Amino acid sequence: MEENIEVIFNGFFRYKNGNFYAEEKRVEDIAKKYGTPCYLYSYHSLLSRIKKFKEAFKGVNTLICYSVKANSNISILKIIKEQELGVDVVSGGELQRALLVNFPPDKIVFAGVGKKDEEIELGVKKNIYCFNIENEDEIEIIERYARKYRRKVICNLRLNLDIDVDTHHYVKTSKKETKFGLDIHSASSILKKHRNNKYVEIKGFHLHLGSQLKDIHPYTKALDTVKIFCKENNFSPEIIDLGGGFGIPYSSYDRVKDIEDFGVAIKEKIKEIGAKLLILEPGRYIVGNTAILLCRVLYVKRRQDKNFVITDAGMNDLVRPAFYGSHHIIIPAKKSTGEKYIKADIVGPICETGDYLGKDIEVPAHIKRGDILIVGSAGAYCFSMASNYNSRPRPCEIMVNKNREFVIRKREDYKALWAGEL
């Protein structure tokens, strides 16, 4: 049951003579210099993902807006901006990050089920490209600020089409029992009501269906439904914002359709609908497999029926296994040939039974205190979900470019834990 890690890392992270490398940097050297736990990104891996995504959607007019919540580090945002992508933000804080990095306002789109008045005001004031609307009352708030700043604000209606997708129930966003989007009846009445609104112009629809989608048909089904909806409502959408959700392999056994295949099918549907602009909001696809988490083995607990490897990274550093039951590969930084393996649960130091990074993971039989382990696919929803639970400072983030490394976020110190407390 050997993982083919090439499928996950595309050669940007790999073993060379038994040592694991990020580009041209040996990860054990990074762990030694900067300590653990530590997030480690590959610059060229990030560039390559952006390029692949852009190429898949060539041929239609697109605005690709990276979803900031997947990873909001400003160095990563800066690289994404240099590649001429826009951003999808879901809070005032994410909008401030995007502005800090100087994303052009006309490449910023704002989504979210609970936008506060002041967040909406900031978006209108900064003249962002559009808002994705999830509630009729939101339009009135936008209108209020549009009037104040004398603007006409573009809005897309986020539709909840009750489409089921094959992913974890926590990351399905298009079933009718989820909180997201407008049902088609509300959308229809909003379209009629605001047809001649002087301050708010509804140009189309937003359809983020969920995350880590491995197949194309939820997208094509959603677009078919939108097409019928438009016909019934006598409305020609200028914009279709399909959201994100494009899946990535977390293991070489994961079957995920190539992004080119998503591109072909989606472009065809967009042409059928006749929309002038396709907005896409990839998060995980762009950053998910561009990083790893390095952690150090603190203790090995061998019991008769079970082995535990206790590492210095826990659910506060990387919560996805504890939160969603997600699988990440966990492999040693040093590997020798002909080695025996045992199965173990890889767990963190947090005082919670749910605190684990992996269950029944194969680790070298001689694994010991001090060894470095690598958690794969740690670029999306990993650092951005990290917390200070158990009063643990958050890890540092480092980016490797060939044989050079850059600290893109310092390790938090203890003082950071209580900064702001009175």
Token pair belonging to 74: 């400003």
Alpha carbons 167 and 174: distance in angstroms, whole number:
11
Given the rule CB under 6 A, which of 21-29, 64-72, 142-150, 189-197 is the region that contacts ligand PLP?
A: 64-72
Token pair belonging to 207: 């359809």
Given the rule CB under 6 A, which of 55-63, 187-195, 240-248, 403-411 is the region that contacts ligand PLP?
A: 240-248
Q: Is there a contact between 271 and 60 (Cβ–Cβ < 8 Å)? A: yes
Q: Is there a contact between 353 and 314 (Cβ–Cβ < 8 Å)? A: no
| Minimum gap (Å) between residue 145 Cβ and ligand PLP | 21
Task: Select from 249, 374, 235 the least CA-distant residue to 313.
Answer: 374
Alpha helices in 288-369 (DSSP H): 320-324
Distances from the Cα of 360 to the Cα of 293, 328, 341, angstroms: 19, 12, 11
Residue 242 φ/ψ, nearest 5 degrees: -85, 0
Size of the site for ligand PLP (CB under 6 A): 18
Q: Is there a contact between 18 and 324 (Cβ–Cβ < 8 Å)? A: no
Q: For residues 100-119, which are near ligand PLP according to CB under 6 A?
A: 111
**Cβ distance to ligand PLP smaller for residue 232 or 258:** 258
Residue 53 found at the interface with ligand PLP (CB under 6 A): no
Distances from the Cα of 317 to the Cα of 206, 298, 361, angstroms: 32, 16, 19
**Cβ distance to ligand PLP smaller for residue 23 or 94:** 94
Q: Which of 110, 145, 219, 246 binds ligand PLP (CB under 6 A)?
A: 246
Q: Is there a contact between 131 and 89 (Cβ–Cβ < 8 Å)? A: no
Alpha carbons 41 and 221: distance in angstroms, whole number:
35
| Minimum gap (Å) between residue 322 Cβ and ligand PLP | 19
CA 197 vs. chain centroid, Å, equals 35
Q: Is there a contact between 331 and 295 (Cβ–Cβ < 8 Å)? A: no
| Minimum gap (Å) between residue 164 Cβ and ligand PLP | 16
Alpha carbons 272 and 411: distance in angstroms, whole number:
50
Amino acid identity, position 399: M
Sign of CA dihedral 114, 116, 121, 127: negative
Q: Lay out the site mask for ligand PLP across 355-394 (x = CB under 6 A, - = otherwise).
A: -------------------------x--------------
Q: Which of 67, 91, 160, 307 binds ligand PLP (CB under 6 A)?
A: 67
Given the rule CB under 6 A, which of 40-48, 97-105, 276-284, 292-300 is the region that contacts ligand PLP?
A: 276-284
First-to-last alpha carbon distance for the chain, in angstroms, is 53
Task: Select from 360, 276, 289 the least CA-distant residue to 62.
Answer: 276
**Cβ distance to ligand PLP smaller for residue 92 or 243:** 243
Residue 88 found at the interface with ligand PLP (CB under 6 A): yes
**Cβ distance to ligand PLP smaller for residue 67 or 307:** 67
Q: Which of 36, 62, 72, 211 binds ligand PLP (CB under 6 A)?
A: 211
Q: Which of 65, 130, 295, 351 is catalytic?
A: 351
Q: Which of 25, 49, 69, 392 binds ligand PLP (CB under 6 A)?
A: 69
| Minimum gap (Å) between residue 49 Cβ and ligand PLP | 12
Burial class of residue 365 (count of CB atoms within 10 Å of its CB; 0-12, 13-18, 19+): exposed
Q: Is 351 a catalytic residue?
A: yes
| 3-class secondary structure, 377 | coil
Given the rule CB under 6 A, which of 238-246, 248-256, 358-366, 398-406 is the region that contacts ligand PLP?
A: 238-246
Given the rule CB under 6 A, which of 92-100, 138-146, 227-235, 237-245 is the region that contacts ligand PLP?
A: 237-245
**Cβ distance to ligand PLP smaller for residue 181 or 314:** 181
Distances from the Cα of 333 to the Cα of 17, 20, 89, 336, angstroms: 11, 5, 35, 10
Residue 34 found at the interface with ligand PLP (CB under 6 A): no
Q: For residues 169-208, which are near ligand PLP according to CB under 6 A?
A: 208
**Cβ distance to ligand PLP smaller for residue 97 or 284:** 284
**Cβ distance to ligand PLP smaller for residue 153 or 333:** 153
Q: Which of 86, 123, 283, 395 binds ligand PLP (CB under 6 A)?
A: 283
| Active site (catalytic) residues | 351
Q: By the criterion CB under 6 A, which residues form the site for ligand PLP?
A: 67, 69-70, 88, 90, 111, 208, 211, 243-246, 281-285, 380
